[in-house]
Chain A
Amino acid sequence: MILEEILSSFMGIFTDYTLRYVALGSAILGITSGALGCFTVLRKQSLFGDAIAHAALPGIGFAYLFAGTKDSLFLMLGAAIFAWFGGMITLAITSTTRIKQDAALGITLSVFFGLGIVLLSYLQSIGGASQAGLDRFLFGQAAALIESDVINLGILSALCLTILILFYKEFKITTFDSSFGQSLGFPIKYLNALLTSVIVVAVVIGLHTVGVVLMVSMLIAPAAAARQWTSNLKNMIILSAIFGGLSGIIGSMISSTTEGMSTGPVIVITITAILGISFVFSPKQGYLFRYIRNQRKSQTSLDNIKTISNTEKENHGNI
């Protein structure tokens, strides 16, 4: 029954215009955040991704307040500026005060998010926000995506991925061994700023589909899942993009089967399921195969002990 619905919604990608754009937009997000999220995870900056995603919310409010339009380009620009600002404030706090990064991230995340909520509720009280559908940026509402949105997202995504491909070698060395990269003459500060900017763009892409609250999982989960299957950075990025894209498509299909079901949370649950499967079933690091290997190992050592004690018994018998 449910399977039938999902199947029909899968067919819907080819027949239903709305669903096609929803799925396409979600896939674009998944691919972009999946690929870039690898660096967030490897740099141990997952929380940084979370902070800049939350920091984007007031940007949407201000953009709407000042521009008075719900044109997605304006809103995305506002979101990007605030996300960037939030990221830079976090870095400034850690480098100029004695406050550690986790506390700095906590400060940025909650203050900006709080500001965003205040703005949205203010806009709601004057009767604009709900009309403009600004609240959908909290948890995302991919169902509202239209053709022009998807084209914008596609352009931004292509930009991010092009930068990633161009600077792959530089991003890799500065992520693995930044002081060595610096000694070779690569300008670490600029490269970090570039990478942060690209991640900001990925976050902005995600606002429509998963929203600011859940965005961080689109950065972390695909990368963490991909890492389970491979120990090669390039493969990890490709696999992570595939996982992200797949979860975008599957998630938007599932949510389209029930009226009013938010797309974002379903996409996040889908990618989490992929992560869970990877944790259990990946051949090298998965729990299942590790369990089997450990069982075998302990069985062999048990056998060895038995053989030894048997020989000892025989020897004693001889004596």
Chain B
Amino acid sequence: MDQKSSKNNSEVENEYSVIIKNLSVTYRTEPALWNIDLNFPKGKMIAIVGPNGAGKSTLVKAVMGLVPITAGKVSIFGKPYSKNRDKVAYVPQRGSVDWDFPTDALDVVEMGLYGKLGWFRRPNSKTRDLARECLDKVGLSNYADRQIGQLSGGQQQRVFLARALAQDAQIYLMDEPLNGVDVITEKTILSILENLKKEGKTIVMVHHELQTVDKYFDWVVMVNRNLIANGPIKEVFTKINLDRTYQEKQRISIQ
């Protein structure tokens, strides 16, 4: 019996890169996420959808421990996030930073390597070259020296993706990378992610446009504080589930 359950565990770990168990997040007294049980499969493009304030960003942040977790557990390849940090790359919402900050595109991409550099060690020619490669992948090699505020919204988003590529991770957690970007940027981002997926990496993306969900993604997670549905697009991206996700007020079900 014991042996069987441990075997099951390792099977789950083989198939899924992120395992979330009974996760709850509370801001002050407001529950933002309630009792989420969820696994992210490897080698898939996963969309997180839900209305505003449903806790989509919170879910992504909770995986990395960026918000205080009230209850539950998250494991990344079977270990807590703090032990497997280098396996996760993060693309925050574009609006979360001040683009007037005195820095250029290459410098921002290089920040993706700060984690590997660790304390006190300075960026060097090696990190510079790596950053340049990543900037090249998103088609912005000509913009390396550009002050980030001088870039278009789409270019800024690609700089953020390049920074995540520099992290060279197994899991990519992205907060609305396709929000308000131009067509070229959308195509570039999707084709890069497609390649990452082929390498067996996990792509998790908070996504706003419901029309494009079945076109771009293999897997969908529907949240509205509670987990409404989670699975392959064909099975769970249904009218009924959408209605349940987007209904006016989602009651927190407390068992």
Q: Output the least CB separation between B64 and chain A (Å).
A: 5
CB contact under 8 A between A233 and B97, given known A170-B119, A183-B66, A185-B85? no
- Cα–Cα distance between A232 and B145 once the two chains are bound (Å): 10
Interface of A, secondary structure class, is helix
Contact of A233 among B88, B103, B117, B120 (CB under 8 A): B103
Cβ contact within 8 Å between B85 and A230? no
Residue of A nearest to B99 (CB): A176
B195 within 8 A of A: no
Residue of B nearest to A176 (CB): B101
Cβ contact within 8 Å between A166 and B120? yes
CB contact under 8 A between A176 and B111, given known A169-B117, A183-B90? yes
B96 within 8 A of A: yes
Residue of A nearest to B123 (CB): A169
Cβ contact within 8 Å between B66 and A42? no
Cβ contact within 8 Å between B103 and A177? no
Number of A-B contacts (CB under 8 A): 69
Cβ contact within 8 Å between A179 and B92? yes
Cβ contact within 8 Å between B103 and A180? no
- Cα–Cα distance between A44 and B101 once the two chains are bound (Å): 11
A173 within 8 A of B: yes
A315 within 8 A of B: no
CB proximity to A under 8 Å, residues B100-136: 101-104, 108, 111, 114-115, 117, 119-123
Q: Which residues of A contact B88 (CB under 8 A)?
A: 183
B26 within 8 A of A: no
Question: CB-defined interface of B51-65 with A at 8 Å, one 1/0 digit per residue?
Answer: 000000000010010
B70 within 8 A of A: no
CB contact under 8 A between A184 and B66, given known A231-B147, A232-B102, A236-B102? no
Q: Output the least CB separation between A135 and chain B (Å).
A: 39
A182 within 8 A of B: yes
- Cα–Cα distance between A7 and B102 once the two chains are bound (Å): 37
B98 within 8 A of A: yes
- Cα–Cα distance between A233 and B102 once the two chains are bound (Å): 5
Size of A's binding interface in residues, CB under 8 A: 27
CB proximity to A under 8 Å, residues B144-187: 147, 163
Most chain B beta-carbon neighbours within 10 Å: one of A42, A166, A167, A179: A179
CB contact under 8 A between A184 and B103, given known A170-B119, A176-B98, A179-B61? no
A208 within 8 A of B: no
- Cα–Cα distance between A233 and B98 once the two chains are bound (Å): 13
Q: Output the least CB separation between B65 and chain A (Å).
A: 8
A20 within 8 A of B: no
Cβ contact within 8 Å between A227 and B117? no
Residue of B nearest to A42 (CB): B101
Residue of A nearest to B93 (CB): A179
- Cα–Cα distance between A236 and B107 once the two chains are bound (Å): 15
Question: CB-defined interface of B14-31 with A at 8 Å, one 1/0 digit per residue?
Answer: 000000000000000000
CB proximity to B under 8 Å, residues A205-237: 227, 230-233, 235-236
B211 within 8 A of A: no
B3 within 8 A of A: no
Cβ contact within 8 Å between A179 and B102? no
Cβ contact within 8 Å between A183 and B104? no
Cβ contact within 8 Å between A169 and B114? yes
- Cα–Cα distance between A179 and B111 once the two chains are bound (Å): 12
B212 within 8 A of A: no
B255 within 8 A of A: no
Q: Which residues of B contact A230 (CB under 8 A)?
A: 102
